[in-house]
Structure 1
Amino acid sequence: MNAISMRICSVLALCMLFACSPGKNQKQQEAVNDDDAVTAPFGNYASLASSHVIAYQDSLLFFYNVDEDMVVPFHLQEPDEVFSFTFDPDGRHMYYTVVRKGKLTLRQATFTDGAPKLEDLADLGLDKEDCIHQCTGENSSLVYRKGKLIFQSGFSWDGYSFSKTHIFTLASRSLQKDVDMDTAEQFFAGYKQETGADQFVTKGKLLYFRSGKQLICVSDKLKLRPEEDADDFGYLWYQASPDRSKVAFTAYTSIGDLPHGPLCIANADGSNQRLLAEDLAASELSPIWMGNKLYFIDQDSELEAENDGDCTTSLYVTEPETNERSRMFDRVRRFAIKLPAK
């Protein structure tokens, strides 16, 4: 598998950290960018298991209930540094890694009424530093699929990606370390199919969405690559919204050590095509749909100007009517979507 192919598999499957080193920020610790948001402890928050929640983190981890405009500080329950996290599709569990004496431990949070039940699942035996992307500074992601968790370690400069893949099976609580390439590719291929990536087709420089028997072009109005040379052009990540009314995708318009290019959105009929972020192709942090809104992290130029050019990222969300983006929370470096508990 060549470097670009491996990069495509990773970007399609993994959802974690934007390429800025983490650091504490007083405003983020307070966890309130929205003056109207209410902060509530887990023990007094009975509706957590049934709510749409976004988890987001700078150096601390919070949940934000979209429906009730309520912030819930998870770090008051979890004293260790959270390194990566993901939710199951049933919305009842969060799986996450924490750092203890420089090494990663896998843990589970089970959501019921009141405070979550927290427990260790496995000592992964991996050094924290070995699970950080040396080129982008991103943490290795934790991905859930069909009762299994996958994560990577061992950054390699040969392919500008992690070289080792590990799988934890929840039912047996067993860990497979450094699985073979075929096993990793099967996992990523299944994830790609489940997210609807197989509904997209590329023809030349254009991306098409398959709607029934029709192929609808969703990139022709964006002028992503005005030059004639197509050697450094392609699409890394593409996904339809759950109701198939919208599509989003990342295009790479040039390749250095890593691919570079914008995040885009369009209606599924090809209308209302927009650029959402100038350069997200190199990030391991894939955008996430919740309904027909797309959530994603991007560099925040306004805050960078206020902070003397220091790298600052914020969480953005799109408006379904216009496909335009708006800032949801500032100083956000990681996030995931927790669906309502089934």
Structure 2
Amino acid sequence: MKKIFYTIVLIAVVLSCTGKRQSGDANGANALTFDTIRVLEKIKLLEYGIDTLPRAEVFIELIYPKSCSPKTDLKKLQSLFYEIIFDEENDSPSSLEQTLERYIKSYTEEYRENARYFEEELKESPHVDMADEHRHYNYSPYTRINNEIDFYNKSLLNFTSNFESVQSGRITREIKYSSIDLISTKKLTEADIFNSGYKEELAPIIRNKLLEAVMELFGNVESDRDPKNSFYDFYTIYANGNFMIDDKGLHYIYNQDEVTPPIFGTFEIDIAFQEVAHLLNPEILSSMGINTQDNRKKSGVRNKTGSMAQQEETNRRRDYSEFPIAYVKEGGLYFFNPENQTIKRFTEEADSVFNCVYSDKDNMFYYMVSKNGMLSFKEVDLAVTPIQISLLKGLKSATQDFFSETYGEKAALSFINNNLLLECDFEWDYYSFSKYLEYSIDWNTLSKLDGEMFYEKYINFIEREGPDTDYNPIFDKAKPLVISEEQIDGDELEYYLTEESADKSKIIFAILVGFGDLPHGPYCVANADGSMMKLLNDTDMGSKFKPVWCNNNAVYIRKREIGEYEYIKELCYTIASTNEVAVIDSNVDYYAVRINGSTHF
């Protein structure tokens, strides 16, 4: 195998590279420091294939111990660190380079096992140019591995390992918690910190924590469903070994699809020492510098209440300004950041959220809630902590009046020139809403505009200039994506440019394949030069919600069939480096993207 090239960024720090704080004396009592290494490996599917054929990408960003106390064997600590992250078992310590080479070699061998399937496709379709990048969909996986340092003192080191894989549009994530005893250089297990017989007594505590988390997800949505039925088998859930411990308690994580269906996502639960004091081995914990009796000690960053430093960390985690995508799912408001694939629920809102929009000039965020069957406007500054929500104005119209009668889609909310515009008054003659409710943020007034009044007032804000580039030669490349080869010569398609990305390096366009009451056809995403063209399956230009750009990520909702007359709406985005599709969340019925308040016009 060819030699691996590493791009290395060395960061000499006293505190952790992730910004986490340590317990102990920063002037020398705690000698832990860290460096960071970043690796991007591109692996061809066919070992001697050309560059235009499929390939996998592996990106690794690893924060690892650079130095430690003389009482700790650094090489042994580093080797254990790598073993945990890459799930290895070694008889002797390994260097970082050895570990990475083994991982890339193993990944390459496993990936190239798919080469025979690709070669079979080449033989079965000799007339098809398999060098076209849109043919690579099932053979171009993307894998990302990174970690975070969560907590450390002179005797204990906690970190989180994150794994993400994108294959054929499906995104898989796994998170692992780890605690290392720096004295013995050993990863802690539950048997190390609990007294014997802990399993049966710990299990109900964990089950109740998980149950509380599920009930919080339901929020104020009325349901006769027993929350326990949301789990695969509630009464068989036990401690899973995926935990870390600090001076405030234990922290467990249950990954997506581990105890509930994937739609519920990942569960993080915190268990205070008081809740499990009767199960713990206090001597072991004391030897690691953990005092289970003093919960006021300034240390760690996993805590949700307590000292000023801890409260600052809590407030930092509640800063929603770093999330450029917002969406509504079952009445809950969520935020997503495609850069780090992080989802955060807006827990500060108790009412059912209907729709939302970002301001295009500051950190203000506007949304509507449905309470007692009526809608109201609300606003919040996403960059201010603690979060402060303001009620702007209530409507006298029922929530049910703001759904389209074609596909049952919610009326769009837009931000234009410091006004909020809400679609209203659906008319079958137009297969759309025909008017707009205009709320003036400056004057706190509400008025109604018909279509003519709206366009006369806002045409200068919503009208866009045509592209400087002629994309028709690129559009022609999309024909094989939607038409079988027998039909290619006889069918004429129409293409409509939806939007260029902000830097004009990528485009979204629609392919008109039929016309009933509304135009129908899927959307495509491609680089501006026509490369990496991807069909956005299960999309339709007849829907009122169009794909939009979030930087160079196309964000859209697809309606995927899961059974006869059964569909699920999934919020998706394209990964900027490959244009591959990844799923953000399911059962999403509204979304908004920062930088474009008038997305839906």
Q: CA 1:186–1:322 in structure 2 vs 1: closer, same or farther (change >3 Å)? A: farther
Q: Distance in 1 between matches of 2:390 and 2:432?
A: 31
Q: Name 1:80's counterpart in structure 2.
A: 351
Q: Name 1:310's counterpart in structure 2.
A: 566
Q: Distance in 2 between matches of 1:163 and 1:280?
A: 21
Verify: 1:321 aligned to 2:553, yes or no: no
Q: 1:76-131: per-residue Cα shift (whole Å, max 9, x none)?
A: 32122111111112351111111122221111112234332111111222221211
Measure how far apart 1:247 and its partner are: 0.5
Which structure exhibits the higher relative contact order, with contacts defined as CA atoms closer than 8 Å and separated by 6 or more residues? 1
Q: Distance in 2 between matches of 1:298 and 1:23?
A: 26
Q: CA 1:29–1:105 in structure 2 vs 1: closer, same or farther (change >3 Å)? A: farther
In 2, are the aligned partners of 1:97 and 1:106 still within 8 Å (CA)?
yes
Q: Name 2:170's counterpart in structure 1.
A: none
In 2, are the aligned partners of 1:104 and 1:124 still within 8 Å (CA)?
yes
In 1, are the aligned partners of 2:410 and 2:589 still within 8 Å (CA)?
no
- Structure of greater Rg: 2
One-letter code of the match for 2:452? D
Q: CA 1:135–1:240 in structure 2 vs 1: closer, same or farther (change >3 Å)? A: same
In 1, are the aligned partners of 2:263 and 2:586 still within 8 Å (CA)?
no
| Counterpart among 521, 545, 564 of residue 261 in structure 1 | 521
One-letter code of the match for 2:570? S
In 1, are the aligned partners of 2:539 and 2:559 still within 8 Å (CA)?
no
Q: Distance in 2 between matches of 1:187 and 1:282?
A: 26
Q: Distance in 2 between matches of 1:217 and 1:277?
A: 22
Equivalent residue runs for 1:35-74 within 5 Å: 44-46=314-316, 48=319, 50-59=321-330, 60-67=332-339, 69-74=341-346
Q: Distance in 2 between matches of 1:318 and 1:69?
A: 12
Q: Name 1:199's counterpart in structure 2.
A: 466
In 1, are the aligned partners of 2:411 and 2:423 still within 8 Å (CA)?
yes
Measure how far apart 1:282 and its partner are: 1.5
Q: Name 1:33's counterpart in structure 2.
A: 265
| Counterpart among 333, 338, 341 of residue 589 in structure 2 | 333
Q: Distance in 2 between matches of 1:227 and 1:125?
A: 56
Query: Bigger shift: 267-276 or 98-107?
Result: 267-276
Q: Distance in 1 between matches of 2:459 and 2:263?
A: 37
Q: CA 1:319–1:23 in structure 2 vs 1: closer, same or farther (change >3 Å)? A: farther
| Counterpart among 539, 552, 557 of residue 279 in structure 1 | 539
Q: CA 1:334–1:268 in structure 2 vs 1: closer, same or farther (change >3 Å)? A: same
Q: CA 1:132–1:215 in structure 2 vs 1: closer, same or farther (change >3 Å)? A: closer
Any idea what SS the aligned residue of 1:218 has? helix
Measure how far apart 1:264 and its partner are: 0.9
Measure how far apart 1:315 and its partner are: 1.8
Q: Distance in 2 between matches of 1:78 and 1:63?
A: 13
Verify: 1:184 aligned to 2:416, yes or no: no
The Cα RMSD (Å) is 3.6
Q: CA 1:78–1:154 in structure 2 vs 1: closer, same or farther (change >3 Å)? A: same
Structure 1 residues without counterparts, runs of 5 or longer: 1-21, 201-209
Q: Distance in 1 between matches of 2:460 and 2:321?
A: 28
In 2, are the aligned partners of 1:151 and 1:166 still within 8 Å (CA)?
yes
Q: CA 1:319–1:72 in structure 2 vs 1: closer, same or farther (change >3 Å)? A: closer
In 2, are the aligned partners of 1:57 and 1:335 still within 8 Å (CA)?
yes
Q: CA 1:291–1:279 in structure 2 vs 1: closer, same or farther (change >3 Å)? A: closer
Q: Normalized against structure 1, the TM-score is what?
A: 0.74
Q: Distance in 1 between matches of 2:381 and 2:263?
A: 22
Measure how far apart 1:70 and its partner are: 4.0
One-letter code of the match for 1:126? S
Q: Distance in 2 between matches of 1:161 and 1:137?
A: 11
In 2, are the aligned partners of 1:276 and 1:324 still within 8 Å (CA)?
no
One-letter code of the match for 1:258? L
One-letter code of the match for 2:377? L
One-letter code of the match for 2:466? Q
Q: 1:257-284: per-residue Cα shift (whole Å, max 9, x none)?
A: 2221101112112333331124321112
In 2, are the aligned partners of 1:46 and 1:113 still within 8 Å (CA)?
no
Q: CA 1:52–1:71 in structure 2 vs 1: closer, same or farther (change >3 Å)? A: closer
Q: Distance in 1 between matches of 2:222 and 2:514?
A: 30
In 2, are the aligned partners of 1:31 and 1:62 still within 8 Å (CA)?
no
Measure how far apart 1:335 and its partner are: 1.9
Equivalent residue runs for 1:156-167 within 5 Å: 156-167=427-438
Q: CA 1:99–1:330 in structure 2 vs 1: closer, same or farther (change >3 Å)? A: closer
In 2, are the aligned partners of 1:219 and 1:273 still within 8 Å (CA)?
no
Q: Normalized against structure 2, the TM-score is what?
A: 0.44
Any idea what SS the aligned residue of 1:144 has? strand
Q: Distance in 2 between matches of 1:183 and 1:147?
A: 17
Measure how far apart 1:293 and its partner are: 1.3
In 1, are the aligned partners of 2:409 and 2:589 still within 8 Å (CA)?
no
Q: Distance in 2 between matches of 1:319 and 1:63?
A: 17
Any idea what SS the aligned residue of 1:217 has? helix
Q: Name 1:122's counterpart in structure 2.
A: 393
Q: Name 2:405's counterpart in structure 1.
A: 134
In 2, are the aligned partners of 1:312 and 1:331 still within 8 Å (CA)?
yes
One-letter code of the match for 1:106? F
Any idea what SS the aligned residue of 2:386 has? coil
Equivalent residue runs for 1:199-218 within 5 Å: 199-200=466-467, 210-211=468-469, 217-218=473-474
Q: Distance in 2 between matches of 1:127 and 1:233?
A: 39
One-letter code of the match for 2:577? E
Measure how far apart 1:33 and its partner are: 3.3
